[in-house]
Structure 1
Amino acid sequence: MHDGMPHRHPNRVRFGVVGVVLAIATAACAPLPRKTAAGDAPAPPAVTAVAPENDLMLKLLAAQFALQGDDLAAGAQGYAEAADLSDDPAVAEEATRLALAVRQWPMARRALARWQQLAPKERGIVQSRAALALGEQRADDAYVDLAALAARGDDQSWRLVAQALLNAPDKAAAAKLLERLATPEHLAAKETNWIAMSQLAFKLGDKGVAQRLADRAVSTFHGSESYAWSARLALDRGDKAAARAQYAEALKRDPDSLRLRGGYAALLADAGDNAAAARALERGPQNDTTFASRAAYAARAEDKAALTRLYREMQAGKGERSGERSYLLGQVGEMLDKRAEALEWYREVGDDDEHWFDARIREAVLLDQLGREAEALDFLHQLQAQTGEDSEQLGSAYLLEAELFVRRQRPRDALAVYERALGVLSDDTRLLYARALLAVEQGDADSAERDLRRVVELKPDDAEAMNALGYTIADGSPRGSPKLGEARELIRRAIELKPNEPAIIDSLGWLHYRLGDLDASLKQLRRAYEKQPEPDIAAHLGEVLWVKGERDEARRIWDEGRRKDPKNKVLLETIKRLTS
């Protein structure tokens, strides 16, 4: 028998109800009596018509149809009426739970009485009685029943207590009732009980009770789980120092717990100490998950020493090396500038591994970086033939081939790759977008606009595509052009979708500049630069400052951009055009 509280949409026929319906159906379809020896058939039995108000099967079917239509109130009413007619406790149970779900307390009281009459020993009756008392604001009565459940001491009984409290209409009253129940007498010497009730208080919105119960668990049991939950509460109130201290205590007691180590590392990383996060994971047993997390944290911290230790540790691992481990070795090898070694690690990743394609892509990149350009291109052509049936992978292989030509300043060859690729994958938005960006760099605004319009057509809600098209139109249109209105609409739609995206804010600022509104332009460009001080935005911000006469600040912004990327084409062209 199910002991849980009602679901929001309990549109199902329970086992007992099915039994009732089948019994009625079977009786209705019973075979006709055989003929007597004399050949005379006996008279058929008299059929007594059942009044609709007494037709159990009709009420059950009507209730089920109501539930299937998400009409909980009608379903509850139908089951309540069926419970009055049925001797099946499952019908009364369902009637009780549905009435509680729709908060029809008189109906629930009647159904509960019927259920208790038919199955007086059911544990769910005690829970439902407490739920009804909570609904009717009879806290003391609810306490008596919930305390009786808690006294049983088993996990299922405590689960019923938690369900009743969580479903209570008045969460504050439920939290007060929980505080009355959460005593040593009821919770006994079980650490898990204290933690569970603290977590329940937290869910009910009473963080004070949650903290008091957590503190009691820590002081009584000094267990790792108590400290870990206390750390979570400290994080919730914004006390990261206390959370770190509690996690440290938890790890002293259970240093091998991957969950605790992972939580502690995440806390350290959230505080900005990625190096400490990597070190926290170094202790204790290791697997591919911990290795990957350590690599990520150490990479963010730019901690070459930690990466070197990790690399050696993974290399020395005993047993058969997984594809995931080989792939991670390749990644860390690249971070440590061990390109030749990384290439061999990637080659260890088998064709049946989930990292197979990514490993092949990295192979091509490394071949090119090692000066083996022809080999890299041949390898990519083989990869394109191998992935022909997977459009996502095939497109990625084409994109990388074009990118290799772009890196070597061979734009014509890159454009040829895009032409070849789009002949196969005509509507691959990644290829269209990449070709458009290359066309912009080559000064071919018309081709860029054409490709970007197609991307927006294919992905009408793509903020990046709308922004790119809007910026391209704004940058290439003279002041007063009616096309600037279209650019404004595209950028407006993009910024509605991603209001805090620096690139889109930059486009908005540049559009204002093209429209002649220098103050509005400067406001948006400063905001974009604060969020992401990168050279392209520095070029735009510096230009507006220069035009406004604030030339010292313009030079300072440009200098910052040049320090980040001395070869940035947009920045260098802007400085030359304005200062020559």
Structure 2
Amino acid sequence: MLALSPRWRAATRHALVAALLAAGAVQAQTVPAPPAAAASAPPVNSTLDAPLFYQLLVGEIELRSGQAGTAYQVLLDAARRSRDEQLFRRAVEIALQARAGDQALTAAKAWNTALPESAEALRYQIQLLMAMNRQAEVAEPLRTLLAQTPVVEQPGMIASMPRFFQRAPDRKQVVELFEQILPPYLDAVGTRSAARVALGRAWLAAGDAPRALTLARRAQVDDPTLPGPALLALELLPGQPDAQRIVENYLQQPKAEPAVRLAYVRVLSGAQRYADAVAQLEIVTRAQPEVAAPWLTLGALHLELRHPQQAQEALERFVALRQAAPPPDAAKAPEVHDPSVIETDEDPATAGEDGDLVQAWLLLAQVAEQRGDLQAAEAWLSKADSPQRALEVQARRAMLVARQGRVAEARAMIRATPERQPDDARAKVLAESHMLRELKLWREAHEVLAAANVRQPDDVTLLYEQAMMAEKVGRTDEMEQLLRRVIDLKPDHAHAYNALGYSLADRNQRLPEARDLIAKALSLSPGDPFITDSLGWVEYRLGNRAEALRLLRAAFSARPDPEIATHLGEVLWSQGEQEEARRLWREAQARDADNEVLRETLARLKVDL
């Protein structure tokens, strides 16, 4: 509560000057200076008379003297007398700073009473009611806000409604509120699509994704050209695979927002559907070849798919565009014209004017390394001078040294890297173990991780990495123990379930349990191609070849990885489709000739490509 003290507190001269400046700022905002083009217009007399000026001065001095309650009362009274929107806002802000929700709500309601046409007053009132968990009182101001909004602006206002309720504790109550408010707009041609999308988001937040999907479909039927239904569908992926059709339908529109396609790329990449993501990015880069950012993502995805030539071309194109126009593409980047889209903060590791260039140089170094050109890789790394990414750069340099046979020197390089952040010690362990794993030094990698887990016994990432290395050195019992520990610590760790299930399936042990573990993993990470591959593999081990073939084809289509290709090839081989199997294995060998699963499979089946 505010301390509602009427006492006058003496102010220092400094506070008085500050108050006078603040009062002047309020007046400057209240009555803006006329533009130069209107210099000949008659002067507008200020509404700031002497009593109001004195009242503002007293209020600001009281606030600086720690008497927030008095300041609130003084400024709210001034706002009521002057009917000035800036002063009502100031009163609300003072109450919020003092954590006095009731007073803030009182000021917002007084604002609405004095200026019933003010949309901002209604927004404040709605947000305050939600913050105070008084959802039952929201319906009337929300209904009024929508009714007052100009018809052409109503779709945008409706689309922004879910933002008001992001932190609502009772999401079902939000759905009830929307169903109470939105019916008139669900029937109107201009607003029905936005209304269905808003209601769909409310249902999604309440945990009913199938109903949200139904509303997204209906919204797209209402108006296929609007991005809102596609954006809702993206939120439903990958848990609702049928939502993909809504996204694809929208992207077929001639004037589809490029940002929706880029959002789809992020979803596809998150599901490790890199080939599909590349296809979408190629559409973007053909349509807007002068925009740099998509080329960086395209290069990274080609690198992940082991397409070094395409990766290098895309990354060098990005560097050329980026260096030709140093500021990032923020001014050119397409925006989705949907008020419900919420921007996320950029990664602080790559923030800054040259952060994206550093990322490109690191990726180009990996491309060169993938090609075996260690000299070119070092040349690219020499450009990547970034304190925020010093450990990453050093780890890549260490890998180049290790590939020349100087493994001990490479390990020393990583260990000597200064630790700038609290998590750098852990990052150095992961960097060293990753390098050793790439070099197939399984035992050494296991030792590094085991020692780290003694120091940090409950670190899920370190435990998982140690489990993977334990399997490589033949310690399957230890691997299972570690993976079950990971699951205990993080019950939604999809890859722990998958790794355990796949290991059992690969060793042809406890196959029903293996299938249950992998199915659990897939429920936690729907559409993941590697988990789908594991499920296909266990179905093959169980003798369900038709189902295995279906799953493995789906996994390979989403992610043409050499290991997935190897499993698919073996199932095809077992069904007599040897030519297709050989073709898949040749392609996998061209991408990764040292792939262990591929080499073991070809040796076991006595296949000579």
Superposition TM-score, scaled by structure 1 size: 0.52
Matched residue type, 1:465? K
1:369-408 correspondence runs (5 A)? 396-405=363-372
Distance 1:105 1:181 in 2: 26
| 2:118 is aligned with 1:160 | no
Question: 1:451 and 1:538, CA in 2 relative to 1: closer, same or farther beyond 3 A?
Answer: farther
Distance 1:518 1:294 in 2: 39
SS of residue matched to 2:225: coil
Deviation of 1:170 (Å): 7.5
1:75-86 correspondence runs (5 A)? none
Matched residue type, 2:322? E
2:132 matched to which residue of 1? 171
Is the Cα contact below 8 Å between 2:217 and 2:229 reproduced in 1?
no
> 2:16 aligned to 47, 50, 60, which one?
60
Deviation of 1:507 (Å): 1.9
Deviation of 1:404 (Å): 1.0
Give CA deviations for 1:494-537 in whole Å, capped at 9, x if unaligned. Answer: 776xx443x752326757999x9985553115678971699999
Question: 1:526 and 1:241, CA in 2 relative to 1: closer, same or farther beyond 3 A?
Answer: same
Matched residue type, 1:281? L
| 2:89 is aligned with 1:122 | no
2:322 matched to which residue of 1? 354
Distance 2:53 2:378 in 1: 76
Unaligned runs of 5+ in 1: 1-5, 7-51, 66-83, 358-386, 406-412, 546-555, 576-580
Deviation of 1:252 (Å): 3.1
Matched residue type, 2:180? R
2:482 matched to which residue of 1? 524
Is the Cα contact below 8 Å between 1:201 and 1:210 reproduced in 2?
yes
1:235 matched to which residue of 2? 204
1:490 matched to which residue of 2? 452
Question: 1:241 and 1:110, CA in 2 relative to 1: closer, same or farther beyond 3 A?
Answer: same
Distance 2:380 2:293 in 1: 33
SS of residue matched to 1:172: coil
Unaligned runs of 5+ in 2: 3-7, 22-49, 326-353, 487-492, 510-536, 542-562, 568-587, 602-609
> 1:212 aligned to 176, 179, 183, which one?
176
Deviation of 1:226 (Å): 1.6
Please identify the structure whose Cα radius of gyration is greater. 1
2:113 matched to which residue of 1? 148
1:252 matched to which residue of 2? 221
| 2:467 is aligned with 1:467 | no
Distance 1:423 1:347 in 2: 16
Distance 1:533 1:441 in 2: 33
Q: Relative contact order: is structure 1 or structure 2 higher (C-alpha 8 Å, sep ≥ 6)?
A: 2
The alignment yields a C-alpha RMSD, in angstroms, of 6.6
1:158-557 correspondence runs (5 A)? 158-164=119-125, 166-167=127-128, 171-173=132-134, 175-179=135-139, 181-182=141-142, 187=147, 192=154, 200=164, 203=167, 205=169, 207=171, 210-222=174-186, 223=191, 224-273=193-242, 275-276=244-245, 277-286=247-256, 288-292=258-262, 322=290, 349=317, 352-354=320-322, 396-405=363-372, 414=374, 429-430=391-392, 432-434=394-396, 436-437=398-399, 445-455=407-417, 461-462=423-424, 463-469=426-432, 488-491=450-453, 499-501=459-461, 505-507=464-466, 510=469, 520-525=478-483, 531=495
Deviates more, 1:215-224 or 1:125-134: 125-134
Distance 2:218 2:360 in 1: 47
Question: 1:232 and 1:97, CA in 2 relative to 1: closer, same or farther beyond 3 A?
Answer: farther
Distance 1:476 1:106 in 2: 71
2:73 matched to which residue of 1? 109
SS of residue matched to 1:235: helix
Question: 1:345 and 1:145, CA in 2 relative to 1: closer, same or farther beyond 3 A?
Answer: same
Matched residue type, 2:226? S
Question: 1:59 and 1:422, CA in 2 relative to 1: closer, same or farther beyond 3 A?
Answer: closer
Matched residue type, 1:178? V
Question: 1:212 and 1:269, CA in 2 relative to 1: closer, same or farther beyond 3 A?
Answer: same
Is the Cα contact below 8 Å between 1:143 and 1:177 reproduced in 2?
no
Deviation of 1:259 (Å): 4.3
1:25 matched to which residue of 2? none
Deviation of 1:177 (Å): 3.7
Matched residue type, 2:253? R
Deviation of 1:450 (Å): 2.1
Identical aligned pairs, as a percentage? 12
2:27 matched to which residue of 1? none
Question: 1:186 and 1:535, CA in 2 relative to 1: closer, same or farther beyond 3 A?
Answer: closer
Deviation of 1:278 (Å): 2.9
SS of residue matched to 1:256: coil
Question: 1:525 and 1:439, CA in 2 relative to 1: closer, same or farther beyond 3 A?
Answer: farther
Deviation of 1:306 (Å): 11
Is the Cα contact below 8 Å between 2:362 and 2:393 reproduced in 1?
yes
In the alignment of these two chains, the number of paired residues is 435
Deviation of 1:257 (Å): 2.2
Distance 1:116 1:309 in 2: 54
Matched residue type, 1:523? Q
Distance 1:295 1:186 in 2: 34
Deviation of 1:220 (Å): 0.6
Give CA deviations for 1:108-163 in whole Å, capped at 9, x if unaligned. Answer: 335644x369x5443566678899899596999779736625xx553xx2312332
1:88 matched to which residue of 2? 54
2:581 matched to which residue of 1? none
Distance 1:541 1:456 in 2: 43
Distance 1:431 1:185 in 2: 53
Distance 1:312 1:424 in 2: 30
Is the Cα contact below 8 Å between 1:130 and 1:143 reproduced in 2?
yes
Superposition TM-score, scaled by structure 2 size: 0.50
Is the Cα contact below 8 Å between 2:299 and 2:310 reproduced in 1?
yes
Deviation of 1:244 (Å): 1.6
Deviation of 1:236 (Å): 0.1
Give CA deviations for 1:3-51 in whole Å, capped at 9, x if unaligned. Answer: xxx9xxxxxxxxxxxxxxxxxxxxxxxxxxxxxxxxxxxxxxxxxxxxx
Question: 1:426 and 1:219, CA in 2 relative to 1: closer, same or farther beyond 3 A?
Answer: closer
Deviation of 1:302 (Å): 6.8
